[in-house]
Amino acid sequence: KSSVQTIGEEQIQNPYTELLVLKGHQDIVRFLVQIDDCRFASAGDDGIIFLWNAQTGEKLFELRGHTHKITAIAPFSSSDASEEKKHLILTASADRTVIVWDCTSGRQVQKVSCFHSTVKCLTVLQRLDVWLSGGNDLCVWNRKLDLLCKTSHLTDAGISALVELPKNCVAAAVGKELIIFRLITSDDGSEGWNVLEVKRLVDHQDNILSLVSVNDLTFVTGSHVGELIVWDALDWTKQASECNFWDSSVHPDVQPEIKLSQSPNETSVQHLTSDEECVFAAVGKGIYVYNLQMKRVIACQRTAHESSVLHIEKLPNRQLISCSEDGSVRIWELREKQQLPAEPVPTGFFNMWGFGRANKQANQAAKKTQENTPVYFLELVGDLIGHSSAVQMFLYFGELGLATCSADHLVILWKDGERESRLRSLTLFQKLAQNGDLQVKF
């Protein structure tokens, strides 16, 4: 029996009452990237990139050019004030190429195929108008796709994550190490850049899986064994670290069975996201909220999903969305704990076949700490079930909805049914007026 919290079928706070299945991919869809207010791109192991309209679910373009799976994707919009904004996307593939696509025309703008290894991450430094590709080495490119400079071969494993830091620096996660590079203008005075390795940080015990910048002063890394380290973005010193996500001694309310079933996989920090106050970490099956000021975990959901959480994101309204290998997407809300945890709502779930998650964890699994500090907990306010396989990623589009992509080759657009209904009415009456059917005929 799993100990995952369930919400049942009555989800008052869940706005998503309409879904659109977007079909097109023939393999696992791994990436979703927002292009502008109403468009997004999806890419995955079939090497095809699709552009979608987030409002209508219409397939705008099908971008074919890669022969292998896509390994990284990044939006690359031009910042030229003179022209109208041009939306480009960069895609890197296992075929060792990077292609620049024009999102307006759906055409391939340019293709770079001089890589010696697969590019695993792409970062655009808007400020410098360059972009970086990270594979076995780090390359710096300008908008015209000229190679400006590159580092020497780093490792065979290659760079797994890149994040931009202040002062023209980038942090690259290379295996267990975190390497800080700095871009400096080249000596010959041309517009070229040179890249210099500034520092190597070797505080992690295991491979760094996630790397996220919190603000101009801080960035956070998470590793495979569950270490979370908060770094100073300016002098690259360790500000704080949390590596006891799995340690039951810190969390006295943890059930022993969880401890038993521990494995590195269960504690790896899969994904990190943050707002100004907190860092939200997807650790194994659970979600942890780490407060940067208090320098400790303020709330957690130890088994938020039945299997590894792959992606989490913070919404503006104190809500958090997570998706997992178990194929579900869950919406959480960070709440202050009352004296007693609220009794969960009876679900009325009739379990006909014995597959349901009947035994529900009554405990909201909030963390008990000192009495004088406010205690938070993550309340499950809704779940989205649609995918039949691991949900790799999702993209929050505000009121337009939520796009999720999955290993079942589908992209699902979740929408607020009320809003959609209203919009349809609007369209209907517009069309009526347009057709002239509004004139009453007697």
11 lines the binding site for another protein (CB under 8 A): yes
Nearer to another protein, 249 or 435 (CB): 435
| Angle, CA 114 vertex, CA 112 and CA 117 arms, to 5° | 110
- Which residue among 1, 12, 187, 235 contacts another protein (CB under 8 A)? 12
C-beta separation of 183 from 195 below 8 A? yes
Rounded to an integer, what distance in angstroms lies between the CA atom of residue 85 and that of residue 387? Answer: 35
The count of residues in the chain is 442
Find all residues with CB under 8 Å of 13, minimum gap 6, and list them: 331, 333, 381, 382
Nearer to another protein, 105 or 355 (CB): 355
- Which residue among 3, 14, 255, 291 contacts another protein (CB under 8 A)? 14
How many Cα atoms sit within 13 Å of 75 on the Cβ side?
19
**What are the backbone angles phi and psi of residue 429, rounded to the nearest 5°?**
-75, -30
In terms of C-beta density within 10 A (0-12 exposed, 13-18 middle, 19 or more buried), how is residue 132 classed?
buried
Nearer to another protein, 119 or 321 (CB): 321
425 lines the binding site for another protein (CB under 8 A): yes
Rounded to an integer, what distance in angstroms lies between the CA atom of residue 423 and that of residue 420? Answer: 5
C-beta separation of 199 from 179 below 8 A? yes
- Which residue among 114, 355, 374, 440 contacts another protein (CB under 8 A)? 355
Nearer to another protein, 11 or 301 (CB): 11
1 lines the binding site for another protein (CB under 8 A): no
**By rule CB under 8 A, what string of x and - marks binding of each residue 32-71 to another protein?**
------------------------xxx-------------
Per CB under 8 A, the segment of 7-15, 100-108, 186-194, 279-287 that binds another protein is 7-15
Residue 359 Cβ, how far from another protein at the closest point, in Å? 15
- Which residue among 2, 3, 6, 17 contacts another protein (CB under 8 A)? 17
83 lines the binding site for another protein (CB under 8 A): no
Nearer to another protein, 15 or 75 (CB): 15
Return the closest-CA partner of residue 68 out of 40, 97, 89.
Answer: 97
- Which residue among 38, 147, 184, 385 contacts another protein (CB under 8 A)? 385
Q: Under rule CB under 8 A, which residues in 331-350 are in contact with another protein?
A: 347-350
C-beta separation of 181 from 138 below 8 A? yes
Which region holds residue 318: left if phi is over 0, alpha if psi is between -120 and 50, else beta? left
In terms of C-beta density within 10 A (0-12 exposed, 13-18 middle, 19 or more buried), how is residue 316 classed?
exposed
* Other C-beta atoms lying within 10 Å of the C-beta of residue 347: 16
Nearer to another protein, 157 or 385 (CB): 385
Residue 37 Cβ, how far from another protein at the closest point, in Å? 20
- Which residue among 64, 107, 116, 424 contacts another protein (CB under 8 A)? 424
431 lines the binding site for another protein (CB under 8 A): yes
387 lines the binding site for another protein (CB under 8 A): yes
Binding site for another protein (CB under 8 A): 8-12, 14, 17-21, 23, 56-58, 327, 347-353, 355-356, 382, 385-388, 408, 410, 412, 415, 417, 420-422, 424-429, 431-432, 441
